């Protein structure tokens, strides 16, 4: 919507219908001579590997996009749980498809059960921050901004809330396609595949709930390198499919946060690659480089039946860290092109032996101080270690220490209130000034009591016990409600 249209719109809300007849008529008259009034529609969004249908409109439209950020506990590998932060519940987030020239009204909604604020930077946006500055959204809130899609192409979007690397490492990325005015050439199948790597406290395949490891992320030492957010997301029953003779287009992205992808399909040659998802088309390509925060469109015709393996050709990532998917092509043999025996056993994941253990039992309430410390350790690993580090030493100058921290040890009620309300602005810990944002984590009273008792019991700290009753008392004082227990987050 243009600025003047926006003004009219706001004015509409505040004025009576009678007074409005005149300016509306004036605006309609101007519209008939000036830019056409755009037709409005809601964008169809899809979960990977599905892609919304091609756009058939021949004119620009005003497209409304509704995207929700959600934090979900989900399998990253068989028997291994991870709390993913997502755009729409999946990794990568929902696929958005618009057309060059469209005006997009973007709504970012942060689910009320989120623990963190989020925002979105779309590489398809021309404007500071790609939308990030206009879309910072706290849990349970929504924000809206508009942009015009000036350049066609396939673009990455991602969260850009600090610590940015952590939000992206947890899965906050996806793709938005801006179709050129003339549309893309017609193909039989389109799929959505995004690579991203994950950094977990335990090594690849270690069973149980795995927290994010900031230390490993800083070293770029990934435990998992994945297509579409989990080991096996595109294998077995979940393989992509096509029939002999069909044309396939893959919208390939790389969320990173750190690694480049050498994207390759074993047994196929890309007939066409829109390298870096730009406009230039390269032909007859074996492996295409997809940089972190970048994308590519690859197209090929499948001529021979069988299973084709999608990999990052940095091969230990493919066979040992998860970056392996499948495209199953059905149809009659075409011996003139390929005469060999069909076998599926050659290219399959090797992994580390993945053990499956029963899920962790629901936590009981702590009865003793020792239990409180034990339960608190788990809360700490899930919720605090990413920033304050497992050893509590923090990561100056971004994250203050909890180990031997004068700020923490001086005042128990103040520490409780930091957890209940978050903390921002300048704070001095052990003589060093920090000026960051500690997000509000939405923990229950028991979890706050347990985690602080754990923190106070470690690293030479004061040894205080914090009880749920004390937390409840501070909560009444600062006036915020306890979140309801739910199953959707790691505890």
**Which residues in this chain contact ligand HEC in the complex, by CB under 6 A?**
163, 383-384, 386-388, 399-402, 405, 407-408, 415, 418-419, 423-425, 427, 429, 434-439, 441, 451, 455
What minimum distance in Å lies between the beta carbon of 56 and ligand HEC?
44
Binders in 91-150 for Cu ion, by CB under 5 A: 118
The stretch among 163-171, 299-307, 420-428, 476-484 that binds Cu ion (CB under 5 A) is 163-171
Choosing among ligand HEC, Cu ion, none, which partner's interface includes residue 201 (Cβ < 5 to 8 Å by kind)?
Answer: none
Residue nearest to ligand HEC (CB): 384
Choosing among ligand HEC, Cu ion, none, which partner's interface includes residue 415 (Cβ < 5 to 8 Å by kind)?
Answer: ligand HEC
Please state, in angstroms and rounded to a whole number, the distance separating the CA atoms of residues 131 and 120: 6
Choosing among ligand HEC, Cu ion, none, which partner's interface includes residue 429 (Cβ < 5 to 8 Å by kind)?
Answer: ligand HEC
DSSP string of 159-211? --PSSHHHHHHTT-EEEEEEE-TT-PPP-SEEEEEEEEEE-BSS-TT--EE--
Pick 8 or 403: Cβ nearer ligand HEC: 403
Pick 289 or 395: Cβ nearer ligand HEC: 395
The yes or no reply on residue 159 touching Cu ion (CB under 5 A) is: yes
Please state, in angstroms and rounded to a whole number, the distance separating the CA atoms of residues 217 and 386: 10
Closest CA to 480 of 490, 471, 491, 467: 471
The answer to whether the CB of 471 falls within 8 A of the CB of 445 is yes
Q: Which helix (H) or strand (E) holds 369?
A: helix 369-383
The yes or no reply on residue 474 touching Cu ion (CB under 5 A) is: no
Neighbour tally for 233: CB within 10 Å = 21
Pick 159 or 379: Cβ nearer Cu ion: 159
Choosing among ligand HEC, Cu ion, none, which partner's interface includes residue 436 (Cβ < 5 to 8 Å by kind)?
Answer: ligand HEC
Pick 232 or 439: Cβ nearer ligand HEC: 439
Please state, in angstroms and rounded to a whole number, the distance separating the CA atoms of residues 154 and 156: 7
Pick 199 or 263: Cβ nearer ligand HEC: 199
Choosing among Cu ion, ligand HEC, none, which partner's interface includes residue 172 (Cβ < 5 to 8 Å by kind)?
Answer: Cu ion
Choosing among Cu ion, ligand HEC, none, which partner's interface includes residue 225 (Cβ < 5 to 8 Å by kind)?
Answer: none
Pick 274 or 380: Cβ nearer ligand HEC: 380
- How distant, in Å, are the alpha carbons of 418, 435, 456, 478 from that of 411? 11, 20, 11, 16
- How distant, in Å, are the alpha carbons of 134, 153, 181 from that of 98? 20, 10, 10
What minimum distance in Å lies between the beta carbon of 398 and ligand HEC?
6
Query: Which pair of tokens denotes residue 168?
Result: 């992206």
The answer to whether the CB of 465 falls within 8 A of the CB of 453 is yes
What minimum distance in Å lies between the beta carbon of 400 and Cu ion?
21
Pick 326 or 408: Cβ nearer ligand HEC: 408
Please state, in angstroms and rounded to a whole number, the distance separating the CA atoms of residues 391 and 388: 8
What minimum distance in Å lies between the beta carbon of 263 and ligand HEC?
32
Q: CB under 8 Å to 291, separation ≥6 — which residues?
A: 254, 260, 261, 276
Pick 328 or 489: Cβ nearer ligand HEC: 489
The answer to whether the CB of 329 falls within 8 A of the CB of 304 is yes
Count residues binding Cu ion (CB under 5 A). Answer: 5
The yes or no reply on residue 158 touching Cu ion (CB under 5 A) is: no
Choosing among ligand HEC, Cu ion, none, which partner's interface includes residue 118 (Cβ < 5 to 8 Å by kind)?
Answer: Cu ion
The stretch among 155-163, 362-370, 379-387, 461-469 that binds Cu ion (CB under 5 A) is 155-163
Query: Which pair of tokens denotes residue 150?
Result: 């000036």
Choosing among ligand HEC, Cu ion, none, which partner's interface includes residue 167 (Cβ < 5 to 8 Å by kind)?
Answer: Cu ion
Q: Which residue has the tokens 């009620």?
A: 413
Query: Which pair of tokens denotes residue 7?
Result: 């003004």
Closest CA to 251 of 46, 49, 45, 66: 49
Pick 293 or 400: Cβ nearer ligand HEC: 400
What minimum distance in Å lies between the beta carbon of 88 and ligand HEC?
22
DSSP string of 321-337? SS-EEEEEEES---TTT
Choosing among ligand HEC, Cu ion, none, which partner's interface includes residue 435 (Cβ < 5 to 8 Å by kind)?
Answer: ligand HEC
What minimum distance in Å lies between the beta carbon of 72 and Cu ion?
13
Q: CB under 8 Å to 319, separation ≥6 — which residues?
A: 349, 350, 351
Binding site for Cu ion (CB under 5 A): 118, 159, 161, 167, 172
């Amino acid at each position: 919507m243009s600025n003047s249209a926006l003004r009219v719109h706001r004015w509409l809300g505040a004025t009576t219908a009678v007074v409005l007849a005149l300016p509306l008529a004036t605006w309609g008259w101007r519209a008939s001579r000036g830019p056409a009034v755009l037709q409005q529609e809601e964008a169809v969004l899809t979960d990977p590997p599905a892609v919304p249908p091609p756009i058939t409109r021949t004119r620009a439209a005003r497209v409304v996009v509704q995207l929700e950020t959600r934090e979900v506990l989900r399998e990253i590998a068989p028997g291994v749980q991870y709390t993913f932060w997502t755009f729409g519940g999946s990794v990568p987030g929902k696929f958005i498809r618009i057309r060059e020239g469209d005006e997009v009204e973007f709504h970012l909604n942060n689910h009320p059960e989120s623990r963190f604020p989020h925002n979105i930077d779309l590489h398809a946006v021309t404007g500071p921050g790609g939308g990030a500055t206009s879309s910072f959204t706290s849990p349970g809130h929504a924000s809206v901004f508009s942009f015009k899609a000036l350049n066609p192409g396939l673009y990455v979007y991602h969260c850009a809330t600090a610590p940015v690397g952590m939000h992206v490492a947890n899965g906050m990325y996806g793709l938005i396609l801006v179709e050129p005015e003339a549309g893309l050439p017609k193909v039989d199948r389109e799929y959505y595949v995004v690579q991203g790597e994950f950094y977990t406290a335990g090594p690849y395949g270690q069973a149980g709930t795995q927290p994010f490891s900031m230390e490993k992320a800083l070293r770029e030492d990934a435990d998992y390198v994945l297509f579409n957010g989990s080991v096996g997301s595109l294998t077995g029953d979940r393989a992509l499919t096509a029939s002999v003779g069909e044309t396939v287009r893959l919208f390939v992205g790389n969320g990173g946060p750190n690694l480049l992808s050498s994207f390759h399909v074993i047994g196929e040659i890309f007939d066409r690659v829109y390298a870096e998802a730009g406009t230039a088309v390269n032909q007859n390509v074996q492996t295409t480089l997809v940089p972190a925060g970048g994308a590519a469109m690859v197209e090929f015709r499948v001529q021979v039946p069988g299973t084709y393996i999608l990999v990052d050709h940095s091969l230990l990532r493919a066979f040992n860290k998860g970056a392996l998917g499948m495209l199953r092509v059905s149809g009659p043999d075409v011996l003139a092109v390929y005469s060999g025996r069909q076998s599926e056993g050659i290219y399959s994941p090797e992994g580390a032996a993945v053990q499956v253990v029963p899920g962790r039992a629901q936590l009981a309430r702590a009865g003793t101080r020792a239990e409180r410390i034990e339960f608190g350790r788990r809360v700490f690993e899930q919720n605090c270690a990413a920033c304050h580090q497992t050893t509590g030493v923090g990561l100056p100058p971004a994250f203050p220490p909890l180990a031997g921290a004068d700020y923490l040890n001086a005042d128990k009620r103040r520490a409780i209130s930091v957890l209940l309300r978050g903390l921002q602005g300048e704070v001095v810990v052990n003589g060093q000034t920090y000026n960051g944002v500690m997000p509000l984590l939405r923990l229950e009273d028991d979890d706050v009591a347990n985690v602080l008792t754990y923190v106070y019991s470690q690293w030479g700290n004061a040894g205080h016990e914090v009880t749920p009753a004390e937390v409840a008392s501070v909560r009444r004082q600062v006036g915020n409600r306890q979140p309801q227990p739910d199953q959707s987050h790691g505890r």
